[in-house]
Amino acid sequence: MVSPQMSDRHRRRPWAARAAFLLFTAALFVAVGVFYESLDRLIIAILEISIAAAAVFVAITRRGWKRFVGWAVAAGALSLLVLLVIDVPLDLGLILLMGGLVYLGANAARYALRLDAMTLEMSALAGVVVGPAQHGVLIMNPGSGGGKVAEFDLEGEARRRGIRPVVLNPGDDLRLLAEAAIQEGADVLGMAGGDGSQALVASVASLSDVAYVCVPAGTRNHFAQDLGLDRTNVVGALDAFTDAVERRIDLAKVGDRVFVNNVSLGVYARVLQSDEYRAAKRQTALAMLPDLLGPEAESFDLSFDGPDGVGYPTAHVILVSNNPYQLTQIGGRATRAQMDSGLLGIVTMRIDDPSYVVEMVALETAGQIARFRGLMEWTDSTFTVDSGKPIEVGIDGEALVLEQPLQFLAMPSALRVRLPPHAGGLSPAAIADASRMSIDNFGRLWAVARGRI
């Protein structure tokens, strides 16, 4: 049954689509007027951006005077770009108008084509409605996320909901605590902590087929994000112990180690091994990059077979994820559109010379890193990486060294996960997929404008 509000929204869709086309057309005419006499300046601006990108590559991969020169050239190129923009004989009002028209047109198109909120939510939360836990147990790491367990009084909140809290103290074995909770009758097991802790407790729950609750009490909480949880509503995640929606999602493992997000090898894994990284991430990474990407850097001993079956002897970055990421950028913002594809996401990247970095920076800025020529991306249920020595890895953000070869394996539908009824159930990648499908498909938008769909 369609609600009156939903019916009204559908009636407004054709008008929104027509408005979108009018706004895009108006923006095109403004753009022609703005850049018609300034094409030469636009070309110069692109060259200056390319020079700045190449100079930044030199700065981060060299030491001493070469690093200084790199930063100086980058600053100079960007300064010239600013002067060019200031001096360019363009009407600032027209530029702002063009941007405003595009923004309004995009939003009108998104409104016209977006999926019904009810349908989208039901699709994302495909599962079964379940009743309250009879013997719910929540394990809490008080050191995670800067002390979120204490900040939100999770121990007290759990008791008020009839959930037995178990606090992880120094020296405790997290796996043994989780196994003991199940042996003592827990029918729903939860973890309040970072993604490394989530993976370990989820693996224990999976082995006993006990329902699992993720409470985002870590620092970044990528697992919770991709489950569609509100990472800012830490206490609200406890509602999954009451009436909830339960569905099955995948896990993955490397060797006998289960992970919920990803395993990284190469540059990031090497940086992660540093003792200084936790205290000063950016400074440590910049200090190490010359040795990892500079002209005297040794190749990583990481051999693997690509999607075409061809063997590759090395890569600067290898990322193996539990379900594929929506790869638009590599700056730590990637998310997964689904958690139940039954596949590993595999990404490898090589940076062979400075021109690769210029290209990579440009594509990263545009949110099109998947087009980078040094990148390969595919999916599979298994993957193997070999080396002549133990391999440095980052597993869900935790630095480890594992014996070679590394055998990766997808674990389809391995975990019963419970989500609170108020959870959106959509990861940023899932939302972006729906939005991109709407904005890019102008044929469908035209059909909506004509009242055909």
pLDDT band at residue 216, thresholds of 50, 70 and 90?
A: very high
152: three-class secondary structure by DSSP: coil
pLDDT, position 84: 64
pLDDT, position 116: 37
Q: Give the H/E segment covering residue 185.
A: none
pLDDT band at residue 347, thresholds of 50, 70 and 90?
A: very high
- pTM, full prediction: 0.71
pLDDT band at residue 195, thresholds of 50, 70 and 90?
A: very high
pLDDT, position 165: 96
pLDDT, position 223: 94
Is residue 215 predicted with pLDDT exceeding 70? yes
Average confidence (pLDDT) over 213-236: 92
pLDDT, position 439: 45
Is residue 400 predicted with pLDDT exceeding 60? yes
pLDDT, position 336: 87
Q: 250 or 269: which carries more pLDDT confidence?
A: 250
pLDDT, position 213: 97
Average confidence (pLDDT) over 238-266: 94
Q: Mean pLDDT for the chain?
A: 79
DSSP state of 239: G
pLDDT, position 440: 46
pLDDT, position 5: 43
Is residue 220 predicted with pLDDT exceeding 90? no
Residues above pLDDT 90, as percent of the chain: 43
pLDDT, position 117: 37
Q: Give the H/E segment covering residue 31.
A: helix 4-35
Structure confidence by residue, pLDDT tens digits, 404-439: 999 999 999 999 999 998 876 666 655 555 545 444
Is residue 443 predicted with pLDDT exceeding 50? yes
pLDDT, position 6: 42
**Is the peptide bond prior to 170 cis by the omega test (within 30 degrees of 0)?**
no
pLDDT, position 87: 58
Is residue 50 predicted with pLDDT exceeding 60? yes
Is 353 buried (19+), middle (13-18) or exposed (0-12) by CB count in 10 A?
A: exposed
Q: 61 or 13: which carries more pLDDT confidence?
A: 13
pLDDT, position 123: 45
CA distances from 79 to 44, 45, 75, 297 (A): 13, 11, 6, 31
pLDDT, position 287: 56
Best mean pLDDT range from 28-32, 68-72, 391-395: 391-395
**Phi, psi angle pair for 312, to nearest 5°:** -125, 135
Average confidence (pLDDT) over 197-209: 96
pLDDT band at residue 450, thresholds of 50, 70 and 90?
A: confident
CB atoms within 10 A of CB 71: 14
Domain ranges in the chain are 4-122+433-449, 130-250+413-431, 262-412
Q: Which two tokens stand for residue 235?
A: 């206490």
Written out in words, the top-level CATH class of the domain with range 262-412 is: mainly beta
Under a CB-based contact definition with an 8 Å cutoff, are residues 34 and 97 in contact? no
pLDDT, position 39: 64
Structure confidence by residue, pLDDT tens digits, 79-136: 776 666 565 555 566 667 766 777 777 777 766 665 433 344 444 446 788 999 999 9
Structure confidence by residue, pLDDT tens digits, 265-309: 988 888 777 665 555 555 545 555 555 565 566 788 999 999 989
Q: Which residues contact 377 (CB under 8 A, 6 or more apart)?
A: 324, 327, 345, 346, 347, 370
CA distances from 275 to 218, 264, 272, 280, 285 (A): 20, 17, 8, 10, 12
pLDDT, position 409: 98
pLDDT, position 171: 93
Q: What is the CATH number assigned to the segment(s) 130-250+413-431?
A: 3.40.50.10330
Under a CB-based contact definition with an 8 Å cutoff, are residues 18 and 447 in contact? no
